[in-house]
Structure 1
Amino acid sequence: MDNLLRDKTRSKYNKTVNTAKDCNFLSKEIHLATNRTISASTLRRFFGLLPCKSNLSSYNLDTLAIFCGEKDFQNFILINSKNKSDKIDKQNANKSAINQLSQFTLNSISKRTLGGFEKTIPREDLNRELNRFIQSEFL
């Protein structure tokens, strides 16, 4: 989760964080945005610019999470772990609904063709495009 917090902090800052000077500027930016302080050396450890034997304090994690737009670090964890599982659940529910609707549609067409449905030509390109849509990020 720290890697995600690092990425979101960089994204929010919208600049690279590769030097001590970058960390000084980021520290000031965080203070302006959150009214909380986090030292440049803490940021240097967080971004791997200084060796570190311990984890960040909960205050510093909260400060970075607040800078990224969350209430605190626990909320950051909750939202970011929930988003992944929600997306998978939504995709599975959509696939199931599409399959049910497709089966209903096929049954309706079959009933209306008075027994000639078996003689229809399968449309491979349509099936391929439908499967591509189902597997896409649009769901």
Structure 2
Amino acid sequence: MVKLHGPKRFSDIVTGDETWLLFFINPPKRLNRMWLDGQVDRPAMSRPGFQSRKRMFTLFFNYRGSLAVDILPQDTTMTATYYVQNVLSQVKSAINEQRSKVSTSKTLFLHDNAGPHKARATTESLRELGIQVLPHPAYSPDLA
């Protein structure tokens, strides 16, 4: 249970979210250059095409900067187990590293109400780490 009253500092808040990013790959023009003699037909040229890839990036940060960046592998779905094992483990190690440098023992976690964030495995993992989760109101695009 999150206690809404009491001392809170912006330096205690860790926030993050996932987003889909598209990137395009065009073959370089130098692949089309070649020497031909008169008897050989010209081969088909590789032309720049619409080749896009879509990947999910997860970024967590606090007031000091980026804590963890995770790129979801291709043909993988973001599930609670992936979130706990890969994303939260990076965030946990970054928080522990910063705790040793900065005198803070409290961490307030802010993420949206996505399925992997609200799953039992995630909430239990955050509880074991001693991290409080701040309430995120439903349908609040301003906070996202």
TM-score with structure 1 setting the length: 0.21
Where relative contact order (Cα < 8 A, 6+ residues apart) is larger, the structure is 2
**Higher Rg of the two aligned structures:** 1
TM-score with structure 2 setting the length: 0.21
Pick the structure with more helix per residue. 1
